[in-house]
Amino acid sequence: MNISQMFEKQIDRDIKGVIKVGQHDQENIYQELNEYVVTNELSKHFREFFENYRKGIEAPTDDMGVWISGFFGSGKSHFLKILSYILENKEVKGRHAIDFFKEDNKIDDALVIADMSLAENVSTDVILFNIDSKAEYSNEPILNVFLRVFNQMLGFCVESPFLADLERNLTKKDLFTKFKIKFREDNGDEWENKRSEFIFIQDEVIQTLVDIDFFSSIDAAKNWAGKVNEDYSISIEKFATLVKEYCDSKGDNHHVVFLVDEIGQYIGDNSKLMLNLQTVTEDLGIMCHGKAWIIVTSQQDIDSLMKVPGNDFSKIQGRFKTRLSLSSANVDEVIRKRILAKNPTATQTLEALYEEKEAILKNLISFSSDTAEKKMYSNGKDFAAVYPFIPYQFNLLGNVLTSIREHGASGKHLAEGERSMLALFQESAISLMDKDLGVLMPFNIFYNALDKFIDHTHRSVIIKAMDNQFLDKFDVEVLKVLFMIKYVKEIKANQENLTTLMVSDIDEDRVVLREKIEKSLKRLVGQTLVQKNGDIYSFLTNEEQEITIAIKHEHVDTGETLNEASNVIFEDIFPYKKYGYSNRYNFPFNQVIDDQYRGNRQSADIGVRVITSYHELKDSIEGSQTVLSEQSQREKTSTILRGLSDNNNEVIIHLTDDMTVLDEIEELLQINKYLTKHSAELSQRSKSILIAKQQEVSEKRERIKLFLEEALKHADIYVKGDKVDIKEKNPTDRINDALNKLVKKIYHKLHYMKTAPVKSDIINILRDTSQEKFGKSDNVDNHLAIDDLDRYIEQETNIHSKPSLKAILNRYNKAPYGFVDLDIEWLIATLFAQKRIYLVKNAQNISLKTNSAEDILKFITERKFQDKILIDKKQDTSKPKIEAVKKVLSDFFDVVHTTDDDEALMELFQDKSTIRLNQIKDISLEYKIEERYPGKLVMEESMDLLRDVTAINSLNQFFDFVSEHREDFLGIAEELESVLNFFEGTQKDIFKKACEATDLYNKNKNFIKDAELKKIDGQLMNIIEMPSPFSHIHELPELYDNFDNLHQTILENESEPIKQSINTDLTHVLEELDSDELKKEFEETFKQRFRELEDKLINSQEISVIKGIREESNNLVNECLSEVAEFEPEPPNGDDNGTEKIAPKPKKKKKYLSIKTISHTTRLSIKNEDDIDYFVENLRKELKKELEDNDEIDLSI
C-alpha cells in the first residue's frame, strides 16, 4: 500500500489552501462551506459569537467588537470569511450558508443553530476586507480605510471622499439616479466609469449638477468643485453618524458588519492606530447601539499586541469583549479531518504497524532535553490519524511560519497570508504519495512547499548551495531544515534535534543518520553557509555569511585567548582571591593560566595554575625524539607537572587536550573585535545580525563557562609534587580541596598557633603581666609560636639588628607560618609581657611604667606604627649586677627586695630614685635661703647620680651604671640620710637661729666690749662652719640662749638714756604748743610720732641703729617745731558794728639745731688748744650763717 491509497479523499485534489478575503468565486465558496471543518474549538467560538451577536439584534448594546486571534496559518481568516457568509445569508448553488452547518451536522447544538438563523434572517450589509490591501499607504488611519470600504459598499466613489459625500447628498435628495442619467446623456458614458477622472471632467459635472437643480448656480457649483482637491477630513463621530443614518434609512433592524482581516499585522506596534481602532469601535457602539459590528483578526491576542498607557489599554479591551482564539489544536484537527482522514483499510493497517514499531518510533523520534515539549504519537489511532506526518510537526511548522514572517524571511505572498498550514501539509503529503508504507515525513520536505514564498535573500542561499560542488543533495536538505528553524526559539538546531527532524522512515538507523548529518554540517560550516555556536548550528544569510567570514579573519593572540579563559575561571567559576583556612586564615594565591599571570605578576606564597592545551608542556612531549606510547606520554606529562607544582608551590590543574573551549573563546574574541570595529557602519538589516551576534557572544560566554566547569571537574590536579586524588565534583570544591592540601604543606608551621587571639586578648596580656601566666612553659598556649618568634628576635639582636614590627609581620604572614596580623601581634605582646623583648620607639624603650596598656596596644596593632616600633631582645642580667642593685636599694633607699626580676628591680630602683631626686631638688631650694646649711655637696653629688640613673632606658645600661657607681651610692648614703634628717626635723630651725645670732653679733661687735658674748659667738661659729655639724647641733640651743641673754642686756643699757632723751624732746615740743589752737592741731600727732620712735628703739637689735635714734629724735623735734612755727591761726573777725579786724602779730622765725647737726660730726678729737679754736670758729661761722635767715636759733647740746 502506498501513501496515495490511504486517504479517504484524494490527497491531490484541488483545495484552496488559503482562503483569501475578497475571493468570491462560486466554486471556491461552495468548497469552503462544504469542506469547512467545525472542530471542538470552533464549535465553542460559533456559540460564543452568535450568542453575543444575538444581543445586538434583540436589544441595544455597545459590546459589538470581536477580536479573533491565532498564529499564522491557523485558519482565522477562513473563520472570518465563514462568519461573513452566514451574516450575509450567502446563497451558493441553491444552498444558504447556514444550510451547510444544519444539514451536514457541522454544528449539532440547536441553540447555536437558532442564534445563527436569527442572525441570518436580519437584514445585514457585510463589509469583508483585508485592511492592508485597502489602505492607500502604510499607517493610514483606520478611520480612512473604514470610510473607504463603507463608501464602496454603498456604491459611492472610493477614490475621492469628496465625491462620495456628493453622491451621499444626491442620494438623500433622491437626485443620484437623475444625476447619473443626465451625466450619461450629456457625456456618453456612465458616471461610475468617469468619476475617477473628475479633475478632467469637472466642468461637465458642474453643469450636470446645476441642470438637475442640485446647485442653484454655476458659481455655487464651481465653489464646491474647488474643494474637491483639498485635504479631506472627517471625524470618527461624523463617520459613526453616517453609519447610523444609513442603518436607520434601511429600517427593519438593519445591521452593518465590518469584518477586517489581519488588523494586528497592520497596526503592528503603532499605538496611534490601535487607539484609532478603539475610538472607531467605541463611537460606532455609542451611535448605532449594536447595529454596526466590527470583527477583526490578528495573529496576536489583544492583550499582547502592544503596550499602550494603562487607561487606554483598558478602553481597548473594553471595546472588544468578545475574544476568540484559534489554537494549534484547531489546525491539527482541521488538517486531520480535511486532508489526512484515512480509509478503514489504511487505518487498520497503520494501527497494526504502530503496534509493531512503537518502541522503535519512540527511540527514533526524540529531542534534546532542553527542547520545548514536542508531541509524539500517543497511540495507534493517533499514528493512523496523522501518518505520514509526526505530531510535533503541526506546532513546529506553525512556529516556522510565524518566525520567518516576523523576521522578514517571507516573501510578499507569504506575508499576505497566501500559505496556510492546510496547503503546506497537503503539498508535502502529495510529494510522498507514491512512497510505500513505512515512510515518514522529514521536516525538510516542508521547505519545498514554502520555497516560492521565501524572500530572495534567504532563498538565494539555498539555490547557491544546490550549485556548490563541495556539497551534496543531502547537505542542501539539512540546510533547508536549518533555514526553517533558524528563528524558532522552541527548538535548538543541535545534531540530536536535526537527526529527529530528518528521520524519513520508520526503520531508519538513527546512528547512521546522525553521522551523515554531522558530515553535512561540517561541510556546510566549511562553506560558511552555516555557523556553529557551541553545539548549535545556524543558517546564514548572504550578509551573515559575509560578516562571519570577516569575523574569522579577525586576529586573536594566544595571550588574549588565555586571558579570557583566565577571566572565566578566576572571576566566574572560582572568583576568590584568597583561600580561607580554619575560618580564620585567608591566604592570597597567584592566579596563573599556562605561564600567564592575571594582571601584574603576583607575589603570593602559593598559587593556582591552570595548564591548557596551549602550554609548551605539550610541545616538549610531542617534540621528543623518541616516539612515546600514549601511556608513556601520560607518565611524562605527570612527571613534568609534579615538578612544576613542587617548584612553584602551586596547585596545578591540568585540563584535557580538547581544544573546543579555546576555539570557542577565540571565536568569541573575534566576534567582539569585529563588532567593536564595524558596529557603527553596519546597514539597517545588518543591525539585526549585530543583535544576533551579541546574543551569540552571550551564549558563547555561558557555554565557555560550562565547558570550563566541566573541564575543571575532570582535570588532573597536582599539589607539591604529588598527583592528588580529589573526587569529581564542582570546581570550587575541587580547587578548595587542593588548596587545603597545599596550605598544609606550605604553611607547615601554621599549627604552632593553637588558639585564635582577638584584640581583647592582647589588652588583657598587657594589663596582667604575671610571670605565672606567661612563663616560659610548654603548657602556655601557642608556646611553639612564642619561642619561634623569640629565637628570631634573638638572632637579629645578635647581629646588631632590631627588626621593625612591620618586618616581623611580613615574615610571619608568609610561609611557612601564614599567621594573621592578630596572631603576630598577640605573640609580640606575650613576649613583651614575659619581659623577653623590648619595644623601642624613637630610640626609647616602651614600658607600662611610661605608657598605658591601651597605648601599647595601639603601638602594636595600628598600621601607622609598624615602621616606627622596633623589637629588641632582652638580655639576661648577671647575678652580681642584680646583687649590686639590691645592695644600693637596701643601703641608699632603705628598701629590701627579694626578687631577681631585673626589670622589676630596675623599675623599683628608678621609682625610688625619682622620688629621692624630687625630694633633694625641693630641699636644695633651702640653700638659696641659707647657704650655710650643711650637706650641700652631698646633695649635689646625690642629684647627679639620681639624674643619671633615672635617665637610663636600657636594662643593660641600668645595671652597668649601678654596678659601676655602687660605691658612690653607698659612700654618700649615710651622710645623705643625715642631711635629709637635718632638713626634715628640728635641726634646721636650731641651726638657723644660731646663724641669726652670729649675724647679729657681727653687726654689733664694734659697739660691744663684752668678752663672754664674744666667746659664745666663737663657739656658735665653730659649729656652724663644720662640714658635718650634725653631732653638735644639740649644743646650739644652750649657746643661743646664753648669747641672747647677754646681748639683750647690752641692748637695754644702750637704749635707756636714748629713751629718756626721746621723752625730754617730746616734753619740749609740747611746751611750744602755747595755745588751744596749736594743741588741737599738733598735740596728738606729735605724741604719735615720738611713740613710734620709742617703739623702734625698743625693737631694734642693732646698737648702731639704737644710737642713731637719738639723732632721729633731735630731727623730729626740729620738724615739729618748724610745723608749729609755720602754723597761722585764723584771725579774729570784726564786730557787727563795722570795727576793723585786728591783724595778727608777725611771728619770729625760729630754727632748731643741734651741735651735731651744725658741726657736721658726731665725734671730735681735741688734742690741744688749736683744735678747740678750730672747732669753736667753725661753730661760730655756722651759727652766724643760720641767723641770717632766722630770728632765733634753738641749739640743742
Rg, Å, the chain Cα set: 66
- Reply yes or no on whether the pLDDT at 1134 is more than 60: no
Return the exposure string of 35-72: e unless at least 16 CB atoms fall within 10 Å of the residue's CB, then b: bbbbbebbeebbbebbebbbebbeeebbbbbbbbbbbb
pLDDT category, 771, cuts 50, 70, 90?
very low
- Reply yes or no on whether the pLDDT at 1120 is more than 70: yes
**For residue 166, is it within any domain?**
no
Q: Could you read off the pLDDT of 326-369 as tens digits, one per residue? A: 887 778 888 898 899 999 999 999 999 999 999 999 999 999 98
Q: Is 722 helix (H, G, I), strand (E, B) or coil?
A: strand
Do 663 and 525 form a contact (C-beta atoms < 8 A)?
Answer: no
Segment 870-885 mean pLDDT: 90
pTM (2 decimals)? 0.55
Instruction: Compute the 3-state secondary structure of the chain and give helix, strand, coil in percent, each to the nearest 5.
Output: 60, 10, 30
Give the integer Cα–Cα distance in Å for 179 and 546. Answer: 65
Map grid coordinates 638659696 to a residue.
928
Q: Is 798 helix (H, G, I), strand (E, B) or coil?
A: helix
**For residue 761, is it within any domain?**
no
- Give the CATH number, domain containing residue 114: 3.40.50.300
pLDDT category, 769, cuts 50, 70, 90?
low
**For residue 77, is it within any domain?**
yes
Give the integer Cα–Cα distance in Å for 1151 and 995. Answer: 46
Q: Is 764 helix (H, G, I), strand (E, B) or coil?
A: helix
> How far, rounded to the nearest angstrom, does the alpha carbon of residue 622 sit from its chain's CA centroid?
49
Do 264 and 297 form a contact (C-beta atoms < 8 A)?
Answer: yes
Q: Are residues 156 and 194 in the same domain?
A: no
Q: Are residues 315 and 335 in the same domain?
A: no
**For residue 59, is it within any domain?**
yes
- Domain boundary among the residues 857, 874, 891 is at 874
Give the integer Cα–Cα distance in Å for 911 and 958. Answer: 13
Q: Could you read off the pLDDT of 1162-1179 as tens digits, one per residue? A: 667 888 888 888 888 888
Q: Are residues 201 and 131 in the same domain?
A: no
Query: How many folded domains does the chain comprise?
Result: 8
pLDDT category, 682, cuts 50, 70, 90?
low
**For residue 835, is it within any domain?**
yes
Map grid coordinates 639624674 to a residue.
947
The pLDDT value recorded for residue 303 is 66
Least confident of 12-16, 605-609, 959-963: 12-16
Of residues 924, 956, 925, the one with CA closest to residue 939: 924
The pLDDT value recorded for residue 1193 is 78
Segment 29-46 mean pLDDT: 91
The number of helices, as runs of H, and strands, as runs of E, in the chain is: 53, 21
The pLDDT value recorded for residue 739 is 95
Give the integer Cα–Cα distance in Å for 7 and 1189. Answer: 180
**For residue 78, is it within any domain?**
yes
Q: Could you read off the pLDDT of 743-767 as tens digits, one per residue? A: 999 999 999 999 999 999 999 999 8
pLDDT category, 772, cuts 50, 70, 90?
very low
Cell reading at 472 = 551534496
- Domain boundary among the residues 874, 889, 911 is at 874
- Reply yes or no on whether the pLDDT at 1145 is more than 70: no
65's CB contacts (< 8 A; 6+ apart) are: 281, 285, 293, 294, 295, 296, 319, 320, 321, 322
- Reply yes or no on whether the pLDDT at 697 is more than 80: yes
Least confident of 74-78, 419-423, 911-915: 419-423
Segment 1070-1088 mean pLDDT: 89
Q: Are residues 413 and 448 in the same domain?
A: yes
Do 1113 and 1093 form a contact (C-beta atoms < 8 A)?
Answer: yes
Give the integer Cα–Cα distance in Å for 1181 and 73. Answer: 166
Least confident of 438-442, 806-810, 847-851: 847-851
Q: Are residues 226 and 236 in the same domain?
A: no
Length of the chain: 1197
DSSP 439: B
Cell reading at 758 = 582577638
The pLDDT value recorded for residue 75 is 83
Task: Residue 839: count other Cβ atoms within 10 Å of its Cβ.
Answer: 22
The pLDDT value recorded for residue 601 is 65
Q: Could you read off the pLDDT of 196-227 as tens digits, one per residue? A: 899 899 999 999 999 999 999 999 999 999 88
Host domain of residue 335: 330-532
Least confident of 80-84, 596-600, 1105-1109: 596-600
Give the integer Cα–Cα distance in Å for 1105 and 1108. Answer: 5
Q: Are residues 136 and 153 in the same domain?
A: yes
Segment 629-643 mean pLDDT: 80
Q: Are residues 463 and 338 in the same domain?
A: yes
Q: Are residues 920 and 835 in the same domain?
A: no
- Reply yes or no on whether the pLDDT at 78 is more than 70: yes
The pLDDT value recorded for residue 418 is 40
Q: Are residues 869 and 891 in the same domain?
A: no
Q: Could you read off the pLDDT of 360-401 as tens digits, one per residue? A: 999 999 999 888 878 999 999 999 999 999 999 999 998 898
- Reply yes or no on whether the pLDDT at 148 is more than 60: yes
- Reply yes or no on whether the pLDDT at 530 is more than 80: yes
The pLDDT value recorded for residue 550 is 87
Q: Are residues 1074 and 1050 in the same domain?
A: yes
User: pLDDT averaged over the chain?
Assistant: 88
Task: Residue 1099: count other Cβ atoms within 10 Å of its Cβ.
Answer: 8
Identify the residue with better confidence: 551 or 1197.
Answer: 551
Q: Are residues 114 and 177 in the same domain?
A: no
Q: Is 124 helix (H, G, I), strand (E, B) or coil?
A: strand
Give the integer Cα–Cα distance in Å for 456 and 443. Answer: 21
What is each CA distance from 483 to 461, 525, 537, 609, 829, in whole angstroms?
A: 10, 14, 10, 44, 76
- Reply yes or no on whether the pLDDT at 25 is more than 80: no
Cell reading at 453 = 514564498
**For residue 1156, is it within any domain?**
yes
pLDDT category, 413, cuts 50, 70, 90?
very low
Do 655 and 715 form a contact (C-beta atoms < 8 A)?
Answer: yes
- List, in sequence order, every residue forming a beta bridge with 537; answer none if it has no partner: 532
pLDDT category, 660, cuts 50, 70, 90?
confident
Do 848 and 769 form a contact (C-beta atoms < 8 A)?
Answer: yes
Segment 690-706 mean pLDDT: 88
Q: Are residues 156 and 176 in the same domain?
A: no
The pLDDT value recorded for residue 831 is 94
Cell reading at 1148 = 619770729
DSSP 410: B
Give the pairing of strands 124-130 and 255-261.
parallel
The pLDDT value recorded for residue 1181 is 85
- Reply yes or no on whether the pLDDT at 311 is more than 60: no
**For residue 1171, is it within any domain?**
yes
- Domain boundary among the residues 874, 904, 923 is at 874
The pLDDT value recorded for residue 416 is 41
- Reply yes or no on whether the pLDDT at 657 is more than 70: yes
- Reply yes or no on whether the pLDDT at 417 is more than 50: no
Cell reading at 966 = 655602687
DSSP 869: E
Segment 1100-1128 mean pLDDT: 86
